[in-house]
Amino acid sequence: KATEHGDYTYAYDQLDQLNQANNPDPLPDEAYTYDPVGNRKTDSQVPGEWTYNQADQLISYGKYKQAFDADGNLV
């Protein structure tokens, strides 16, 4: 995508999941990986692994944590 800040380009895997974002300078490029069910597992700009609960809800990524109540609401 061309913008006034420069060109952004994106690459996707065979499941149409974003796996590469090339950003204009000075922004860093980004890369992502996924587990077999499609949950993001890594982000090159967020150190650490992404983890999910049994309902496939994201509960932590890098230094960040979040929780869900019994109804599946983010708390």
User: How confident is the model over 56-67, as pLDDT tens digits?
Assistant: 999 999 889 999
Report which of 9, 53, 49, 50 is spatially closest to residue 27, judged by C-alpha positions.
Answer: 9
Q: What is the pLDDT of residues 45-56, one digit of tens each?
A: 988 889 999 999
Report how many domains make up the chain: 1
The whole domain housing 25 covers: 2-65
Predicted model pTM:
0.76
Residue 47: inside a domain: yes
Q: What is the pLDDT of residues 31-43, one digit of tens each?
A: 999 999 999 999 9
Residue 46: inside a domain: yes
Residue 70: inside a domain: no
| CB contact at 8 A, 30 and 43 | yes
